[in-house]
Amino acid sequence: MKRNQIQKMVGIALLMALVLVMQTIGGMIPPIGGVSISLVLIPIVIGAAVYGIGAGALLGATFGVIVYINCVTGADPGGAMVFHANPVLCFLVVMAKGILAGVVSGVVYRALSGKNAYLAMFVAALVCPLVNTGVFVVCMLTFFVDVLAAWAGGGAILGYVLTGLILANMLPEVLINIVFSPASARIAKAVKK
């Protein structure tokens, strides 16, 4: 095996470990003011930028597996409701959202990196949480409306989606990814040397 291949495997493995730790610890941190703080998408974007679309998909799949485990074990109470409603669809949804977030981030980074690495990282960092939450919302509205209704607690489902999923979840992820995108671009540049 060539040295570059070994370095790539080690780099991806380290990012997978980082995804595992960040998602596990992130699930233990209660929302602050109703807003969940999640850094787990950052290593997915970095991996997709540094090692390519396949690495983004693998890191997104790692994220999906951990989310699914949290759904099965009840570590994520909302996820447990989705799991109990339909375990197979729950698995497909969490895997699809993670994998697609990694793939699209990699595609965007690759498309823009020839022009400007910082812009490429910024847009990839922006797209990752949009795809992650967007796929989740579409799947929830398509397959798990009853669960959404329970989450909404008798309120309007659309209102819950806008406030509970988009404002309290996706928006903080977008902001965190954007804030860290310059550092992520520097990391990607250093690793690629």
Residue 32 has pLDDT above 80, yes or no: no
* Mean pLDDT calculated for residue range 55-61: 98
pLDDT at 88: 98
pLDDT at 146: 96
- Spell out the domain ranges in the chain: 3-192
Q: How far is CA 2 from the centre of its chain?
A: 31
Question: What is the pLDDT confidence band of residue 192, given thresholds at 50, 70 and 90?
Answer: confident
Q: Indicate left, alpha or beta for 34 from its phi (over 0: left) and psi (-120 to 50: alpha).
A: left
Taking only the tens place, the pLDDT of each residue in 39-54 is 899 999 999 999 999 9
Question: What is the pLDDT confidence band of residue 190, given thresholds at 50, 70 and 90?
Answer: confident
DSSP H or E stretch at residue 84: helix 77-85
Class of domain 3-192: mainly alpha
Q: How far is CA 192 from the centre of its chain?
A: 23
- Report pTM: 0.93
Residue 35 has pLDDT above 70, yes or no: no
pLDDT at 73: 95
Taking only the tens place, the pLDDT of each residue in 59-114 is 999 999 999 999 999 998 999 999 999 999 999 999 999 999 999 999 999 999 99
- Tallying the residues shown for the chain, one arrives at 193
- DSSP assignment of 94-140 equals HHHHHHHHHHHHHHHHHHHHTT-HHHHHHHHHHHHHHHHHHHHHHHH
Residue 34 has pLDDT above 60, yes or no: no
Residue 36 has pLDDT above 90, yes or no: no
Residue 27 has pLDDT above 80, yes or no: no
What percentage of the chain carries pLDDT values higher than 90?
75
Residue 26 contacts residue 40 (beta carbons within 8 Å): yes
pLDDT at 31: 64
